Amino acid sequence: MLTITNIKRAGSDALESITIEEGLIKGWNLPVEGKVIDGQGGTLAPAFTELHAHLREPGQTEKEDLASGLAAAAAGGYGTVVSMPNTRPVVDDPAIVRALIEKAQGLGLARLRPAAALTKGQQGEQLAELSYLKAAGAAMFTDDGQTNENARTLRLGLEYAGSLDMVISVHAEDASLRAGGVMNEGPVSEALGLPGNPVAAEAARVARDMELVAQTGARLHVQHLSTARALDIVREAKGRGLPVTCEVCPHHLTLTDEALRSFDAIYKVAPPLRTQADADYLLQGLLDGSVDCLATDHAPHTRAEKERDLLEAPSGIAYIELAFPLMWTRFGEQLGLDRLIDLMTVGPARVMGWPEPSLEAGAPADVVVLDLQTEREVNPAQFKSKAKFTPWAGERLRGWPTLTIVAGQVAYQRQD
Ligand code: DOR
């Protein structure tokens, strides 16, 4: 039994308490018993769900591993994380899915729901053993990091995954158009003399994929939309009633290609940072409901790798610990607390077809307490992630998680 006292629900100023028993919410404002944690006036929300994180295990544990990545997630207020399969080896084997789930269960941090590769070795040609991967516990199928160049394979994958009632998520960039682009193609890339990645690489690929959804009727989730044009295409597909969902990442809302003027590869990410007009347009998509959820694409690399020059450095920004504070500080007023929380809880659950997170009695006790007021400086040295550097170092943000409970157990509690 655990009771969290002195907490508010979003939209209310009343101080209440919530009692948790055997991994479930028992009820609100019950007589206090068992272990007590003082919520210190924070706001209680369902713990967040991350549909897109690179935890790098197996094989690249110098960048991140399950323990560091799931601790970082819990510190960011996440109760559930879908890990990407672009590891070494690739997660295309049911035994790896099972091993990841088993290992994560022993950690007592955020829950892990591993995604499995859609194709063997993420090579894009031969479908992986999708039904066995599902039976092993795979949450979804994706070749993220790779780009599903073979449309026929993706079509077959959609038919197969659809028959299993599983979601496929796609990294929608046309590799031939992206070519060697290391940043958004536009006036800034031209001024810097750096190879650009055009809007059409994303938009053309999203348009192709919408046709495959129309053909198959299967569920497709478009990852990390970065351009206004691609969002329009998704919106149009939704208007046709196609079973399409999409996510946007906070880095595409808060940073633009102007950041590359620093020539710092910390800003190199795929798809790339775009223009302010794109960022503004994506934010409108969060407001009008055409974007289904937020996801971070937490993509840790070693500092040495990210200190290479822009042409050589790998793509990726790792900031699962900052996602809520960043969004709340920058866009809290426009989005409102309820919408922001929905985009990180109910939104991802609906994409997956999972039960909607709730704070009612009987719901799983996966909750987060958020300090919406206190400004704190971002100090990457304190990150749980192995990637202890970030574009937002030194910024003052509000909305820090102070306590994350997963299955009724403390997965994170701020110490200072
Ligand atoms: O920026 C990215 N990093 N985009 C991807 O698609 C892959 C990811 C990674 O694995 O580092």
Lowest mean pLDDT among 27-36, 45-54, 110-119, 383-392: 27-36
pLDDT band at residue 33 under the 50/70/90 scheme:
confident
Tell me what the mean pLDDT of segment 14-37 comes to: 96
Answer yes or no: is 98 a known binding residue.
no
Identify which of 226, 233, 249, 235 has the alpha carbon closest to the alpha carbon of residue 173: 226
pTM of the model: 0.98
Please report the pLDDT score of residue 249 as a whole number: 98
Distance 300 CA to ligand 1 centre (A): 9
Preceding omega of 58 cis (within 30 degrees of 0): yes
User: Cα separation of 365 and 352, whole Å?
Assistant: 19
User: Cα separation of 348 and 346, whole Å?
Assistant: 6
Q: Which amino acid belongs to residue 227?
A: T
Residue nearest to atom 7 of ligand 1 (CA): 145
Distance 52 CA to ligand 1 centre (A): 10
Average pLDDT, the chain: 98
Provide long-range contacts, Cβ within 8 A and 24+ apart, for 302-307.
302/62, 302/63, 302/386, 302/387, 303/387, 303/388, 303/389, 305/63, 306/265, 306/266, 306/268, 306/389, 307/265
Distance 314 CA to ligand 1 centre (A): 8
Distance 81 CA to ligand 1 centre (A): 16
Enumerate the CATH 2.30.40.10 domain ranges in the chain, comma separated.
1-46+358-416
Tell me what the mean pLDDT of segment 252-281 comes to: 98
CATH number assigned to the domain with residue range 47-357, chosen from the 4 options 3.20.20.70, 3.20.20.140, 3.30.70.60, 3.30.930.10: 3.20.20.140
Identify which of 31, 94, 83 has the alpha carbon closest to the alpha carbon of residue 295: 83
**Backbone φ, ψ for residue 135 (5° rounding):** -60, -30
Distance 315 CA to ligand 1 centre (A): 5
The pair of structure tokens assigned to 158 is 């959609």
Which class is domain 1-46+358-416?
A: mainly beta
Asked if 148 contacts 118 with a C-beta cutoff of 8 angstroms, the reply is: yes
- The atom of ligand 1 lying closest to the CA of 86 is 10
CA distances from 367 to 83, 144, 272 (A): 20, 28, 33
Residue nearest to atom 4 of ligand 1 (CA): 270
- Residue 344: in which H helix or E strand, if any? helix 337-344
Q: Which residues contact 347 (CB under 8 A, 6 or more apart)?
A: 292, 293, 294
Enumerate the CATH 3.20.20.140 domain ranges in the chain, comma separated.
47-357
- Residue 330: in which H helix or E strand, if any? helix 323-335
User: Cα separation of 103 and 67, whole Å?
Assistant: 9
pLDDT (tens digit per residue) in 337-381? 999 999 999 999 999 999 999 999 999 999 999 999 999 999 999
Beta bridge partners of 7: 16, 42
pLDDT (tens digit per residue) in 300-313? 999 999 999 999 99
User: Cα separation of 197 and 114, whole Å?
Assistant: 29
Query: Which one of the listed residues 143, 174, 292, 297 is annotated catalytic?
Result: 297
Told to judge if 13 belongs to the known catalytic residues of this protein, a careful annotator would answer no
Ligand 1 pocket, residue 75 CB under 6 Å: no
Ligand 1 pocket, residue 270 CB under 6 Å: yes
Answer yes or no: is 221 a known binding residue.
no
- The atom of ligand 1 lying closest to the CA of 299 is 11
User: Cα separation of 219 and 161, whole Å?
Assistant: 8
- The atom of ligand 1 lying closest to the CA of 315 is 1
Answer yes or no: is 251 a known binding residue.
no
Ligand 1 pocket, residue 131 CB under 6 Å: no
Residue nearest to atom 5 of ligand 1 (CA): 145
CA distances from 358 to 64, 354, 385, 390, 400 (A): 30, 12, 28, 32, 20
- Residue 402: in which H helix or E strand, if any? strand 400-406
* Substitution candidate for ligand 1 out of 268, 269, 274 with most atoms within 8 A of CB: 269
pLDDT (tens digit per residue) in 169-207? 999 999 999 999 999 999 999 999 999 999 999 999 999
The pLDDT of residue 11 is above 90: no
Task: Give the 3-state secondary structure of residue 94.
Answer: helix
Ordered DSSP codes for 225-265: ---HHHHHHHHHHHHTT--EEEEE-HHHHH--GGGGGG--G
* Substitution candidate for ligand 1 out of 51, 64, 82, 86 with most atoms within 8 A of CB: 86
Asked if 92 contacts 130 with a C-beta cutoff of 8 angstroms, the reply is: no
Ordered DSSP codes for 44-80: EEEPEEEEEE---TTT-TTT--HHHHHHHHHHTTEEE
Asked if 35 contacts 3 with a C-beta cutoff of 8 angstroms, the reply is: yes
Distance 6 CA to ligand 1 centre (A): 40
Please report the pLDDT score of residue 331 as a whole number: 98
DSSP state of 296: -
Ligand 1 pocket, residue 150 CB under 6 Å: no
Please report the pLDDT score of residue 416 as a whole number: 79
Tell me what the mean pLDDT of segment 65-71 comes to: 98
User: Cα separation of 42 and 401, whole Å?
Assistant: 9
Asked if 213 contacts 237 with a C-beta cutoff of 8 angstroms, the reply is: yes
b/e per residue, 245-262, with b = 16+ CB within 10 A? bbbbbbbbbbbbbebbee
The pair of structure tokens assigned to 215 is 């053909």
Q: Tell me how crowded residue 235 is: count the other CB atoms within 10 A of its CB.
A: 16
